[in-house]
Structures are given as structure tokens and as C-alpha cells.
A = this chain, B = another copy of it.
């Protein structure tokens, strides 16, 4: 009476797909098919290692893939448990931002405003400067493949020698857009995603309707001394930048 003999797939060590990925696929399949039910325990790592003739480290790597995907959760001393999918563990990536800004050859930047202004109220607080200190302000309309994509507004503390200011004013190479490719290095930054609505001007520039609900992505960057160096935001429509998060097993 054979048990567990041919009911399972095995690891093909001649395959180009790494063993850990093969095992991850097998386990993922068993989870999505209901063979391992939500809340239940996965076979222990030593057991999986024996069953699929892999070392513990390789087995751990396979399970680690599922952990990254949020399908299972490891609890030391107890085991690895199949997770139920749910809203609470999700995260939203700025995938569209990545794709759009990666295609530099299809980006067009129009400078709407570039000026030096005295700092006021909120800006003083955010950038930790005194009232009337001078700020560089730049507003840009960024189009992607001919379609208006986002409006960017940025403020930086004015300092002719600061690479930040240089980068901001450098529309040509886009370095000022998101500080991903510039000469300066920042210790840290913070993003904040907010709901807002199109102003009349924004709607016109981005081909939307005034009052339409859109995203605002605020960003603030700090230098090595922990001082804020720039503050600004992007305005972008959810139609141009859908924020979607998939949970569970897709594409099987």
C-alpha cells in the first residue's frame, strides 16, 4: 500500500529552474488547491527536506519565497502556517511610477514655474527654516508618451552650491524629479500618499475635470545632517496610476 509515492511532484535537479523555486511552486500549488488549508501547518522543514531530497537551507529558501508572498507565516518553535488572505497585510507599490520614469526617452517635461520665493507658514515648518528665508520653487508638467501624466511641485532651501538646487533646476536630465539619478546623495526621505482633488489649473493641464479625486504624493528629503533639504509633491490621477495589490495565488 504505497503512500505518498507518485502523488507528489519531485524536484528536477537538471532543470534550469532552481530547486528552491520548484519546491516553492509545488507548495504554492498545494496551498492554492486547498491541499494545505488556511490556518493549517505546513510540513516541517526537515520533513520537506527529506521528502524532496533537498538540504535544509534550500528548503528554507523555498519556504522563504512563500513567506515573501504572504502565503505562509513562520512561527519559531511552532511551525509554518498557511495564511488567509486579507486586506490587512497588503501593500501598494508605485509600479506605474517606476515604469513611467524608467522610460526617459518618452518623457517630456514642461517647466511651469521656476522662481526664488521667501518661505512662508507651512513651508517654514516643513523645511525647518526661518520666515522669509529664500526657497527655490519649481513646478513641472511631466508627460509620458504624449499624455500628461503628473504635475510636480518642489521646494528646496536656496543655496547656490547645493546639489539639490542644481538637480531641481535641471529639467534636462530629470534628475530633479525624484532624486534617483542625481549627483547628490540623501540619507533618507519620506513619502506620504494622500487623497485630494484637481484644482482648476491642474485639471486643465492633466486633461481631467476640476474637483475630480486624485492622488497627491508628498515627498520630503533629508541630508546627512538630518536637515530637510526639499519638500514637494506629485499630483496624479488614479486612472494614470492605478494602485492595485494582488493577494493570494494568481497566475497559476
Residues of chain A touching chain B, judged by Cβ–Cβ distance below 8 Å, are 32-34, 37-38, 57, 84-94, 97-98, 101-102, 178-182, 185-197, 213-215, 217, 219, 221, 224, 234, 238, 242-250
- Given contacts A188-B250, A248-B186, is CB(A89)–CB(B98) below 8 Å? yes
Which B residues touch A97, using CB under 8 A?
87-88
**Cα(A249)–Cα(B222), bound, Å:** 10
Distance A86 CA – B101 CA, assembled complex (angstroms)? 11
B86 touches A178 (CB 8 A): yes
The answer for the CA separation of A97 and B89 in the assembled complex, in Å, is 8
Task: Among B89, B182, B224, point to the contact of A34 (Cβ < 8 A).
Answer: B224
Tell me if A's interface is mostly helix, strand, loop or mixed.
Answer: mixed
A245, B189: Cα distance in complex, Å: 8
A214 (CB) vs chain B CBs: closest residue = B195
Please measure, in the bound complex, the distance between the C-alpha atom of A196 and the C-alpha atom of B186, giving whole angstroms: 33
- Structural contact, A94 and B85, CB atoms closer than 8 A: no
Partner of A179 from B85, B179, B188, B193 at Cβ < 8 Å: B85
Tell me the complex Cα distance, A86–B177, Å: 9
Q: What is the chain B residue whose CB lies nearest that of A101? A: B88
CA A87 to CA B181, docked complex, whole Å: 11
B190–A238 touching, CB < 8 Å: no
Chain B, residue nearest A218 (CB): B244
Q: Complex formed: what's the CA distance from A63 to B135 in Å?
A: 39
6 contacts between A and B (CB under 8 A): A84-B182, A86-B180, A87-B179, A89-B98, A188-B249, A195-B215
Report the bound CA distance from A178 to B86 in whole Å: 5
